[in-house]
Every structure is written in structure tokens, then in C-alpha cells.
Structure 1
Amino acid sequence: MIKNYFKIAVRNLLKHKLHTGINLIGLSLGLGVSILIFFFVQFELSFDNFHSDSDRIFRIKSHELVDGEMQESFSSPMIVESTFRQEFSQIEAITQYISGGVQSILPDESTQSQSFRMVNPDFLEIFGFELLQGDRTTQLRDKYQVVITEETSEKYFGDANPIGKSIRMKMAYEFIDYQVTGLLKNIPANSTLQFEMLMPVENMDFFSDEEGRTSWFSVWGANIAKLRSPDQVTSIHESMNSVMKKALGDDFVEGEFYFTLEPIEGMHFSQSAGNGGLETTNKSLLWILAGIASLVLLIACINFTTMAIGRATSRAKEVGVRKTMGANFGQLILQFLMEAFLTTIIAAVIGVILAELLLPTFNDLFQKELDLVYGPLQLLILFSLVVIITGIAGAYPAFFLSGLRPIKVLKGNLSIHFGKQGLRKGLVAFQFFISFVLVASTLIMVNQMNAITSYDLGFIKDEVIIVEVPDVPSTSFVTSLHESFKKADIYRQALVSRSEVASAAISVATYGDDAYWQVAFPQEDGTQFNFLVNFVAGDYFETMGLELLQGRKLSIDAGSDSSAFIVNEAFANSFNWDDPTAEMIPGTRFDPHEIVGLVKDFHHASLYQPIEPVLIAKAPLPVFSGISNLSIRSSTNPKVLVRSNGADLESFKALLEEEWRKIFPGEAFNFEFMDETIQAQYQADERLGKMVFIAASIAILIASMGLFAMVALSIAGRTKEIGIRKVLGASSWSISWMFNREFLIITLVGVLVALPLSWYLMQNWIEQFAVKEWPSWLSFLLLALGGVVFTGLIVSGQALKATQMNPVKTLKDE
């Protein structure tokens, strides 16, 4: 029986080639995009689930009350590890996780930057990373031993066994040999923790003094604990106050500084500030993409349904004959569902091929390494999609047509007005509604991103190259910064002596790199005044193109203006200063200093964030003398900012590297363009915008094919009416308008509902920007007119073609 259903389904599909082709193209496009997106969503949801004890692993989250506001961070002090290990018996294992990077020597004697993570021996006990060589219980117990991944091993040792071999890395002032004792399988792509090398945490003495390593208010990396039972989290939280009181002594104030435990199951989706530098995914992005995929599939399913309804008259006679011959209701339903199932299966095969072809583009768009692996879960997703589409696309036609009464059908008394008109029009209108929601959303996103790109940031971003200079290691970061600036200034002076260089400066922070130091000092009312600090040298204001409103710039001479500050308008406005150069910072503990200039507000961070008070100085000590809080969230390495005078790009880069080799022999030369770093701040939203644009394009394509088919079916069912109207003197344009009126109304309804809804839906997205710009009403009007014209062209083309037919032939045909 199934074999007969299959044969009949194949014959029907081949008989109606236009109908079948449109369904296949629509479903294949929808499935191709949807397979990519659903597999991507499944991949993202699988992060960190390969750790066998993931339900017992928790990140330690700090909570600190500052000016009445609770600040939370997954970065925590180093002393947490030893304190919690001793105080909480519920903890089975605990490790620190601190990022670091130094120069290392490759086999060809060249140097490169080598990143690593400093951890405790418990790290390999907590996490399920696969150790290919070495004894798991003895790893990371010697300061000068490391564990590396396969990829890192290949970089240093090729195909040779790395165990027992050494890697030379520059720690502090000299290169030190680190012995490889363990080899890890490459870290899975669905791991939030990504690293190349593990190193014992004892190496922190190269990066911080003892006070920084033991203070409760010095933050270094993260702490991660594995409990004996996941149910013990509550008991740890309940005893946290007593532990913190014991640890802090007189500094303890209940509710102002404490820690909680957060499951690592949510680590990959955490959007908390101070997330330990981990690359995470905003979970809302997954639901947006899944929603887009579902909408595109729904449009393709609507095409299937509307065309089945459009062909209801011809299929009704088929149902009548088959029922008269003895076919029952269930058999007819099965027959129609078999046609839908067969179409969907073919579309799924084509969709998989499309997904494979689109995979490189998708990975490039989202900066992922997604691989379409067809395991049990992926096959289940595919099978579910086929079943769901078969049900959505084939259910209504199957049940509707199978329920027709044969007597009425064969006598010609059957009226299926609702099926042919009401529902069909509603579905077509819904298609256009979805399509225009996506198109209008794309318009809003493109307009906003264009506004961001062209926005005046308050400085000149073009023709500026950023060269990061290696720091001079010291356990005191003030000493490290001072010595690093001295070394960087030698490079800067070498550059400005070249005619190709317009100007050069040194800066700790650049736009959007999160390297501005966050500081605060207590005010008379007891509150903290928070602001940002950047340390600079050289001709910083000329190089950046900052506008000085009052006073003067900081001196270029290295030894002068060591106690001078420049503030921005936001800083001055916080204290209602009309002339900041006549003022002093009101904090009572600041060493003698002077504010020598006021700079016009500029955007120090991406346009997601508002402008904050900023202080620019040449030396850290005058700033540090008066502050009570300090937070350094990024690298303290100085950067040399170089502005070209318009020289050829390639020759200019060669010049920079030539001078680099003289000053920093053996050090890796790395640079980036400032305008590219600025644009990189908005990559996530640009990618989402491109995805919405692709989805909108596919949705419009599928909807237009559906409209084309529906117009063709509508005209085919009214050829005699067209012939009679022509005989009675109707013009081609009047007949065309008769068809246009019906579909234009449908389009207008879809557009008019879609535009305000898209405006509403995009409110949350656009609110994340400090600078917002909505499209003008004219843009939306043009979009609506474009939809109407688009529909008119499709309908008019077919209607005018139908009016060219000889009415004698159409009226004689029975």
C-alpha cells in the first residue's frame, strides 16, 4: 500500500512541475539556512557539557557594594583559593585561572607571543580535558613545568614527542626553560575555557608582589571550585559571612563584600561585567537566530499550503473519484501527507547540500568553527524538521481535501470559497507580513550601524597605526609602566625623526580596548567619585586630533608635567567647573598637582557606552596618591600611536618594522589600524544585521515565488471570465487591475502591520547604544511603496500575459 502511495505521490509531483519546483526551491532554501542555524544553536547550547561533573563545578563570583551599588564580577582575589580550601569542607577541589602572556622562542630562534593560564594542580581534577600523555595526578606541581595542547606541541616540536622537552619563555627579565610534563588533546571547540598552555600559579610572583597576591582587594583572574555535592552551595552561602568576617577582621561590613558560587553551566552565556576575559555568547542571539530560521521555514510551509488550496478544485474531483472507488478518509490523508513528506525529504537533501556550501560563509560571518557533524542529535534535529514541516505544510490540505463529500464534488455543487479565498489570502498576507518585518528590521539595523560608522567620535581615527610595545616586567606595575614608557619613547622618537611620520604618541589605552584604568576617590559626602584615567606621552593630542577647549596640552618633554592633568568636559561638569585650569581635584589626599587643560568630550569607548569623566596624565603617582579604588581591566602595556603623513601603506609598515627591529630586537612586531579596531567593536551587531538581511532576502524570494504561483493559479481558474470580459470590451489594464486589487490589498495589510511591529521589536536592540538613530518616516514610506510596486509587477506581468490570449479559444475550451 505504501508503495502505491509513493508511486501516486511521485506522479502528482511530476505532473505539476511548477507547483513542485516552487515548493522545492522554497523549502530547500528555508531548510538550508535553518539547518545551519539550528545546528549552530545546538552547538552553542552544548558548551561545557563534556565535563562529567559539570553539575558540581562552580565559578566564584564577587559582590562589592560601591556607592550604594552592588558591583559583581567573576574576577576574584588570589587569596580566595587558599581561604576557601581551608574554610569550606564542602569543596573537593579548587583552582585559580589567571591569564598571562610572554615572549617565547620557537625552534627557528624567532620569538612569538605565547599565552598561558596559571592554575593550581586541582585544575585537571576539576575539568574533563583529556590528557594524552603524562600522569594526571602529578601535573602542575613544579613551578617550571607546563602542560600543553597538541596544537602547541606541533608549533614547538613538530611531530616529536614533547614530554621532557623544554620551551623557553621570557619571565621578568630573562628567558627561562619550562619542561613539558603533560600533553592535552586539543581543547574542544565547545569549551568556554580555551588555552594553549597550563602553568603552575606559583609563576604569579613574576607578575605581582606578595601584597598583590595576598590582598582581598587585588583581583587576578578567576577562582573555580568543585563541590562534593551540588546541594552544598546553600550551606556555603549561609556560612559566607562568618568566613569573610574572619578573613577581613575590622574591614568586614556585613553585606558589603562577599562571594557566591555560580554553576559553570551558564558560563558560556554570562554577560556579567568582569567575566574574566572569557569569550561568551549572548543567549538572546541564539533565540533571535532560531526565530529567524523558524520564520523562513514558516514562509516556505505557507507556500506549500496556499498552493495546495489554490489547486483544491482539481484535487477535489480526484478525491471524489477515489472515494467512490472505495478509498476511506485515512487512506486519503495518508496519500496527501505522503506527497508533502516526499517533497520535504527531497528539500531536506538539497537543504543539507546548501548548508554545507554555506558553512564557510556562516563561520566567517559569526567567527565560529562550526562543523556539520551528523551525529544522533543532529539527525534527530533533521528528522524533527522533516516531520514538523510535513505536518505544517501538508496537514490542512490533507484533512480539508480528504473530508470532501464525493456526491457534491462529482455533481459540481461543491463550494470551497473559504479554502480558495479567505484562508489563502490570510496566508499570503502573513507571508508578506513576516517578510516585511525582516526587511524593516534590516533597514533599522543598517541605518543604525551607518550612523555609528559615520559618527564623530571626537578624535581622528584615520591613518593611525597602533603598535603595542612589550612591557618591562616588575612586581610593581607602577615601575613596570614607567620603564615600559621609557623604552617606548625611544621607539617613538626614532619614528618622529622620519619624514613619513606626521606625529607619534604613547598611550596605555586606545579606543574601546577596555584599557582605561577605573579609579575613584572619596568625596566629602562619603560617596565615591568614579572616573577613568589614561597615561600618555609624546604628542598625544596632535596624534589623536583631540580638541583642546581651555588651557594647554601636556608637554612632549619626558621629564616635565609629571604632576599635570588634563580633564574632559564630563569631568569638569561633574564639579560644575567653568574654568578647570583654576581648580584642583577636590579629594583631600591628592599630592600637589595642576589641571592644565580642558579637552572636548571624546568617545573613549564604543558607542554602546556613554561618555564618562576622563583624566589624562603623564605619571601615575600623582593620581594614585589620592584615589581609594583602582580597577585595571586590560593590558597595561603601552601602545605607540603613529599617524602617517599620507605615505604609501606598505612602505609605511616597513618603516615601522625597520625601526622596531633596532629598538626591540627579537621581539614580535604587531600592529593594528585604529579605524579597524573601532569597527571591530560592533562586529557582533554587524553580523546579526547581515544574518537578518540574508533571512529577509530569502523570505522575500520565497514569498515572491509563492505570490507568482498563486497569481498563476488564480488566473488559470478564471480564463473564461477573462475571455468574456474581453469580448464585452474590457481593456487589458482593467483586467490587470482586477487581479492587482486583490493582491495589493493583501500586500498593504502585511506591510502596514509589519512596520510598526518591527519598530517595536527593535526597541530593545537599539537601546543598547548610547548613540541612537532611527530611520526617517520617509524610509519606511519608501519601503511600503517598494512592497506595493514589487507585488504590482509580479501580478501585472502575469495578468497582462493572460489578456493576450485569444478569447475564442478560452471560451471554446471545456
Structure 2
Amino acid sequence: MIKNYFKIAIRNLFKNKLHTAINLIGLSIGLGVGILIFFFIQFELSFDRFHSDSEKIHRVKSHEVVDGEMNESFSSPMIVEEAFREEFPQIEHISGLVTSNVQAKLPDGTKQIQSFLLVNADFLQLFSFPLVQGDRSSQLKDKFSILVTEKTAQRYFGDEDPIGKSIQLEMGEEAQDYLVTGVLRNIPANSSIQFEMLMPMDNMDFFANEQRMNSWYNVWGQNIVKLRNPEDAATMESQMETFMQKVLGEDYAPGQFYFTFHPISEMHFSEGAGNGGLQTTRKSLLWILGGIAFLVVLIACINFTTMAIGRATMRAKEVGVRKTMGANFRQLIFQFLTEAFLITLFSTLLGVLIAELLLPTFNSLFEKELGLAYGPIQIGILITLMLLITLLAGAYPAFFLSGLKPIRVLKGNLSIHFGKQGLRKGLVGFQFFISFLLLAATLIMVNQMNAIRNFNLGFDQDQVLVIEIPDVPSNSFVKSLKESFAKAETYRQAIEGRSEIATSGITVGTYGDDAYWELGFPLEDGTQFDFYVNFIGGEYLNTLGLELVEGRGLSPEIGSDSSALLINEAFAEAFQWDDPTGELLPGTEFNPHQIVGVVKDFHHESLYRPIAPIVFAKSPETIFSGINNLMIRSNTNPRILVKNATSNFDAFLSVLEDEYLKVFPGENFEFSFLDESIEAQYRADDRLGKMVLAASLIAILIASMGLFALVALSIAGRTKEIGIRKVLGATSWSISWMFGKEYILLTLSGILIAFPLSIYVMQNWISQFAIREWPSWLSFIILVLGVLIFTILIVSSQSFRASKLNPVKTLKDE
């Protein structure tokens, strides 16, 4: 019996090749996009869940009230580890995580930057990263031992066994040999914690003194805990106030400073301060992409449903004959659902192929390493999709056709519209509603991102190279920064006289969120003033084309400028200074200094953020002497900004590299373009815009295919009416308009609903920018006209052809 159902279903599908092909192509494209996005969402949700007992692992989250505002951060003091271990028996394992990098020496004598993670011995008990060489229980106990990943071992030792071999790292002011005692399997792509090398936490003494490491007000990296039971997190948080009072003593103020515990399953979605440079994904992005996938698949399902209803007249007599021959309601439903299932099955197979073809483009767009592995979870997603689409697309036609009365069908009394014309029109209108909603969202996003790209940031970004300068290792952070600056100035002087170089400057911060250091100092009234600082040298202002509105810049020729400062207009406005030159920073602890100039406001951060107060200095001592808060989230080494003066880029680059290797022998010459750094700030929203654009085009394609098929069915059912109208004198244009106006009204109805909704939906997205620009009304009008013209072309292409048929042929059987 089942075999017979499938045989009849296949015969019906081949009999109506056009409609089958449209359904197959539409569903395949929709499923291809849907499969890719659903697999991506599943991959993102799998982050950090491969660790054993992942539900017991939490990150320590800091909460501190500053000037009445609660600041939250995933950075926490190093002393947390020891204090928590003693105070909370609920903790089974705990480890700090501090990311750093130093110069490493390769076997061929060259140097490179080597990043590593400072952890303690509990790290390998906290996490389930597989160890492929070495004894797990004995790792990270010797200060000068390290673990490396397979990829790192290959880079340093090739195919040789790395165990027992050393890697030389420049720690502090001298090189140290670190013994490889273990090799970890390469870190999986769905791990938030990515690293190449693990080093014992004892090595923190190369980066900070004991006082700073044991302070509750100095944060270093993160702390991770593994609890004995998942419920213990709430218990520990309830005891936190007592604990904070105990450790802070007189400094304790209720509710002003405390810690909570954040599940590691949320680590990949946790954006915010002190996140350790983790590559995170906004959960809202997953919701948006999931919604896009659902809408695209839904449009394809609507095609299926509308065409099935449209073909109802052709299948009505088949249903009547089957019922007369004894077929019952359940058998007929099963027959129609079998046809829907077959189309869905073939579409799913084609969809998988389309998803595989789109995968490289998708990975490039989102900078991911997604692979379409077909494990139990993925197979479950595919089966669920198939069943849902079969029911969604085939259920209504199956129940509708199976419920027809055979006596009405066989006597020919069945109305061509079945009383369901409103549903069919509603589905077509809904398709265009979705399509226009996506198109309008795309227009808003493209317009906003174009406005961002064309916005004047207040400085010159074209033809500016950013050259990385190696840091000078030192136990003193200030000493390391000063000596690195001195090296940078030596290099800058070496290139300054060359004809290929226009200007050059030294800077710590370049461009981007968290690129400048965030500082704060107390005012006389007890409030806290927060600002940003950048340490600069050389012709920094000229290289970027920054404008001085008052005073002068910092000169390399004036020795006293080591204690001089520049500020921006926003800083001057914060203190309402009419003439800032000659003023002093309002804090009470700063070393002697003087403000010598004011820089015109410019955007040093992305346009998601407004312009903030900034101080520019040549030396860190003046600034560091009076602050009580310092947050460094990015670069700590100086960089050289170089403006190109020639059209021969190769010659320009050759000069820079030759002089670099003279000043920094054995170092890698690394550079980037400033404009690329600026563009990178908006990469996430650029990707989203491209994804919405692709989805809107796919939605329009699928909807237009459905409209094409539906118009063809409608015309096929009214050929005799067309013939009669022609005999009575109707023109081809009037017949085309008869069909066209119905679908134009449907399209217009969808647009009128989608237009205000798109503005409402995109309001939240566009509000994240400090600079906002909505599309003009003319842009929306052009978009509406484009969609209407598109609809008219599809409908008229068929209706006009039908109006040209000879009435004799359509009426000869009457």
C-alpha cells in the first residue's frame, strides 16, 4: 500500500513538471540557506559545552560602583584565587587566566611574538583540553615548564618530539629557557578560550610586583572556578557580602564591590569589559539569523501551499473518483502528504548540496571555521526540518482536497475559487510583506553603513601605515614603555629623511574601541573623572592631519614637553575652560605639568561611541602620578604611523622594512593600514547587512517564482473567460490589467504593512550608533516602485501572452 502511495506521488510530480520544479527549486534554495544558518546557530550554541561537567564551571564577574554607576567586568584581582579557595569549600578547582605575549626565538635565529596563557595547575582539572603527550597530573608545577599545542610544537620543532626541548622567551629584562613538558591537542574551534601555550602563574612576577598582585583593586585577567555542584553558585553569591566585608575591612561599603558567578556556557556570548580579548558572538545575531532562515523557508513553504490550492481544481475530480472507489479521508491525506514529503526530501538533499557550496562564502563572511558535520544533532535538525516543512506546506492542501464532496465534484458544481481565494491572496501578500521587510531593512543598513564610511572622523586615514614596534622587556611597566618609545624614535628618525616618507609619528593607540587607555582620577568634590590617554611622539598630529584649535603641539625639540600635555575640546568642555592653555589637570596628585594645546575633537573610537575627553602625553610618569584607575584593554607597545609620499608603494615599503631591520635586527617587520583598522570596527554589522541583503534577494527570488506559478495557474483556470472577453471586444491591455491589478494590490498591501514595521524593527539596531542617518523618503519610494514594477513584469509577462491566444482554440469545446 505504502509503495503504491509513493508510486502515485512520483507520477503526479512528473506529470506537473513546472510546478514541481518551482517547488523543488524554491524549497531547495530556502533549505540550503536554512540548513547553513541552523547548523551555524547549533555550532555557536555548542561553545564550551565539550568540557566535562561544563554546567559546574563559572567565570568570576566583578561588580563595582563608581560615581553611582555600576561597572561590571569579567576581569578580577589575582588575589581572588587564593581568597576564594580558602573561603568557599564549594569550589573544587580554581585558576586565574592572564593572557600575555613576549618575543620568542625560533630555531633559525629569528624572533616572533609568542602569546601564552598564564594559569595554575588546576587549569587542566578545570577544563577538558586533551593532552596528547605528557602526564596530566604533573603539569604546570615547575615555573619554567610550559605546555604547547600540536600546531605550536610543529612551528618550533617540526616533526621532532618536543618533550624535553626548550623554547627561549624574553621574560623581564633577559631571555629564559622554558622546558616543554606536555603537548595539547589543537584547541577546538568552539572553545572560547584559545591559546598556543600554557605557562605557570608563577611567571607573573615578570609582569607585576607582589603588592599589585595581592591588591583587591588591581585586576589581572580572569578567574575560573569549578564548583562541586551547579547550585553552589547561588549559595556563594548569598555569602558574598560577608566575605567582602571580611577581606576589605574598613574599605567595605555595602553593595559597592562584590563578585558573582557567570556560567561558562554563556562565555561565548558575554560582551563587555575585561573579557580577555575573547572572540564573542552577540546572541541577538543568532536570533536575527534564525529569524532570517525561518522567513526564507516560510516563503518557500507558502509557495508550496498556494500552488497546491491553485491546482485544487485539477485534482478535484481525482479526489471525487478516489472517494467513489472507496478511498477514505485518512488515505487521501496520506497520499497528498506523501507528495509533499517527496518534494521536501529531494529539496533537503539539494539544500544540503547548496549549503555545502555556500559554506566557504559564509565562513569568509563571518570569519568562522564552520564545517557541516552530520552527527546525530545535525541529522536530527534535518529530519525535524523535513517533517515541519511537510506539515507546514502540505497539511492545508491535503486536508482541504481530501474533504471535498465527490457528488459536487463529479457533477461539475464545484466553484473554481472553492471559497478560499482570500487565503491564497493572503499568502501571496504575506510573501511580499516578508520580502519588502527584508529589503527595507537592507536599505536602512546599507544607508547607515555608507554614512559611517563616508563620515569625516576628523583626521586623515588615507595612505597611513601602522608599523608594530617590539616592546623592550622590563619588570617596570613605565620603564618598558619609555625604552620602547626611545627605540621607536630611533627608527622614526631613520626613515624621516627619506623622500618616500611624508611624515611619521609615534603612538600607543591607533583607532578603535578600547584602543586608547582609560584612566580616572578623583576631583576635589570626591567625584571620579574618567578620560582616555594616548602617548605620542614625533609628528603625530601632522601625520594624521589633526587640527590644533589653541596653543601648540608637543615638540621633540623642547625638553620640557616631557611633562607637557595636549587635550581635546571635549576635555576642555568638561571643565568649562575658556582658555585651557596653561591650565593644570584638576586632580590633586599629579606631578608638575602644563596643558600647552587643544586638539580639535576627532573620533578615536568607532562611531558606536560619542567623543570622550582625551589627554595626549609624551611620558607616562605625569599621568600615572595622579590617577586611581587604569584600564588597558589593547595594545601596550608603541607603533609608528607613516604617511606615504610616493605613488610607488613597493619602494615606500622597501625603505620602511630595510630601516626596520637595521634598528630591530632579527625581528619580523609587521604593518597594517590605518583605514583597514577603521573598517574592521564595523565588520560585524557589515556582515549582518550582507546577510540580510542576500536573504532579501533570495526571498524575492522564491516569492517571484511562486507568483509566476500562481499567475500561470490562475490564467489556466480562466482561459475560456479570456476567450469570451476577447470575442466581446476586450483588448490585450485590459485583460492584462484584469489580472495585474489583483496582484499589484496584494503587493501594495504587503508593502504598506512592512514599511512602518521595518522602521520600528531597525530603530533598535540603528540606535547603537552615535552617528545615525536614515534613508531619504525618495529611497523608500524608489524601493516601493521597484517592487511594484517587478510584480507587474511577472504578472504581465504571462497575462499578456494569454490574451494573445486565439479565442477559437480556447472556446472550440463549448
The TM-score normalised by the length of structure 2 is 0.98
Instruction: Deviation per CA, 1:464-495: give whole Å up to 9, x if none.
Output: 11112111122221111111100110011111
In structure 2, C-alpha distance between the alignment counterparts of 1:591 and 1:117, rounded to whole Å: 36
SS in 2 for 1:80: helix
1:558 Cα deviation after fit: 6.9
Alpha-carbon contact 2:333-2:402 (below 8 Å) kept: yes
- The answer as to 2:168 corresponding to 1:174 is no
Tell whether the 8 Å contact from 1:208 to 1:474 is kept in structure 2 after alignment: no
Partner letter of residue 65 of structure 1?
Answer: V
Alpha-carbon distance between aligned partners in 2 of 1:758 and 1:2, rounded to the nearest angstrom = 47
| Pairing of 1:18-417 with structure 2 (within 5 A) | 18-415=18-415, 417=417
Match of 2:430 in 1: 430
Task: Report the more deviating stretch, 514-523 or 188-197.
Answer: 514-523
Q: CA deviation at 1:416?
A: 5.3
Following the alignment from structure 1 to structure 2, what is the Cα–Cα distance between the partners of residues 98 and 586? 34
Q: Secondary structure at the match of 1:762?
A: helix
Q: CA deviation at 1:721?
A: 1.2
Query: How many Å separate the matches in 2 of 1:377 and 1:671?
Result: 43
CA–CA separation in structure 1 for the residues paired with 2:502 and 2:137: 58
How far does the alpha carbon of each residue in 1:672-718 deviate from its partner, in whole angstroms, 9 at most, with x for none? Answer: 10000000001111001111111111000000001111111111111
SS of residue in 1 equivalent to 2:581 = helix
Deviations 1:335-355 (A, max 9, x none): 000000000000000000111
Question: Which amino acid in structure 1 is aligned with residue 375 of structure 2?
Answer: G
Deviations 1:2-27 (A, max 9, x none): 11111111111001011000000000
Task: Sort the Cα spacing of 1:659 and 1:245 in 2 relative to 1 into closer, same or farther, 3 A.
Answer: same
The code of the aligned residue for 1:694 comes to: A
In the TM superposition, what is the alpha-carbon distance from 1:513 to its structure 2 partner?
5.4
Q: Secondary structure at the match of 2:559?
A: coil
Cα contact 1:521–1:530 (8 A) shared by 2: yes
Asked if the contact 1:32/1:352 (under 8 Å) is kept, the reply is yes
Report the equivalent of 2:677: 677
Deviation, 1:88, is 1.9
**In structure 1, what is the Cα distance between the partners aligned to 2:229 and 2:424?**
58
Give, in angstroms, the shift of residue 55 of structure 1. Answer: 1.7
For 1:743 and 1:788, how far apart are their aligned partners in 2?
9
CA contact 1:463–1:646 (8 Å) conserved in 2: no
Confirm or deny: 8 A CA contact 1:56 1:230 kept in the other structure.
yes
CA RMSD of aligned residues (A): 1.3
> 2:499 matched to which residue of 1?
499
Deviation at 1:804, TM superposition (A): 1.4
1:794 equivalent in structure 2: 794
Unaligned runs of 5+ in 2: none
- Gaps spanning 5+ residues in structure 1: where? none
Mean Cα deviation higher: 566-575 or 100-109? 100-109
> Equivalents in 2 of 1:696, 1:813: separation in Å?
45
Alpha-carbon distance in 2 for matches of 1:524, 1:206? 36
Listed one character per residue, the Cα deviations across residues 290-310 of structure 1 (whole Å, up to 9, x for unaligned) are 110000000000000100111
Q: Does the CA contact (< 8 Å) of 2:48 and 2:190 recur in 1?
A: yes
1:661 is the counterpart of 2:661: yes
1:513–1:634 contact (8 Å) kept in structure 2 = no
1:722 aligns with 2:694: no
- Structure 1 contact 91–227 (Cα < 8 Å) conserved: yes
What per-residue deviation string (whole Å, max 9, x for no partner) do you get for residues 577-608 of structure 1? Answer: 22211433222322322211111110010111
For 1:15 and 1:467, locate their aligned partners in 2 and report how far apart those are by CA, in whole Å. Answer: 67
Contact 2:170 2:473 survives alignment (8 Å): no
Query: Would the aligned equivalents of 2:75 and 2:273 in 1 still touch at CA under 8 Å?
Result: no
- SS state of the match for residue 260, structure 1? strand
Give the SS at the match of 2:447.
helix
Pair 1:478-2:508 in alignment = no
The 2-side partners of 1:770 and 1:586 are apart by 28
Secondary structure of 1:752 counterpart: helix
Give the SS at the match of 1:802: helix
How far residue 247 of structure 1 moved from its aligned partner, in angstroms, is 2.5
Q: Does 2:464 align with 1:464?
A: yes
Distance 1:594 1:807 in 2: 95
**Moved >6 Å (runs of 4+):** none
1:646 and 2:641 are equivalent in the alignment? no
Q: CA deviation at 1:244?
A: 2.6
How far apart in 1 are the matches of 2:813 and 2:35?
Answer: 46
Change (3 A) 1:722 1:729: same
The CA distance in 2 between the partners of 1:231 and 1:804, in whole Å, is 76
CA distance in 2, matches of 1:126, 1:445: 42
1:808 maps onto 2:802 in alignment:
no
Q: Is the 8 A contact 2:57 2:126 kept in 1?
A: yes
Deviation at 1:509, TM superposition (A): 0.6
Is 466-475 or 773-782 further displaced after alignment?
A: 466-475
Paired with 2:441 and 2:664, the residues of 1 have a C-alpha distance of 50
Q: For residues 506 and 418 of structure 1, do their structure 2 counterparts lie closer, same or farther at Cα, with a shift above 3 Å needed?
A: farther
In the TM superposition, residue 246 of structure 1 has moved relative to its aligned partner by 3.1
Deviations 1:191-222 (A, max 9, x none): 11111110101111121222222222221110
- The letter of the residue matching 1:491 is Y
Distance 1:79 1:225, change over 3 A: same
What amino acid maps onto 2:79 in structure 1? I
**8 Å Cα contact 2:447-2:774 kept in structure 1:** yes
What is the distance in 1 between the residues matched to 2:591 and 2:87?
41
Amino acid across the alignment from 2:194:
Q
Please say if 1:776 is aligned against 2:792.
no
Q: Percent identity?
A: 66
Q: Deviation per CA, 1:233-291, whole angstroms, max 9, x where unpaired?
A: 23322332333333233322232222122111111111232212211111111111011
Query: Secondary structure of 1:610's partner?
Result: coil
For residues 262 and 557 of structure 1, the distance between their equivalents in structure 2, rounded to whole angstroms, comes to: 52
- Deviation digits for residues 127-165 of structure 1 (CA, Å, limit 9, x no counterpart): 111111111111000111111111111112222222112
Superimposed CA distance per residue, residues 39-90 of structure 1 (whole angstroms, 9 cap, x where no aligned partner): 0000111111111111211111111111011111111111111121222222
Number of the residue aligned with 2:3: 3
State the AA in 1 paired with 2:185. Answer: K
Rounded to whole Å, the distance in 2 between the matches of 1:389 and 1:670 is 52
Deviates further, 547-556 or 371-380? 547-556
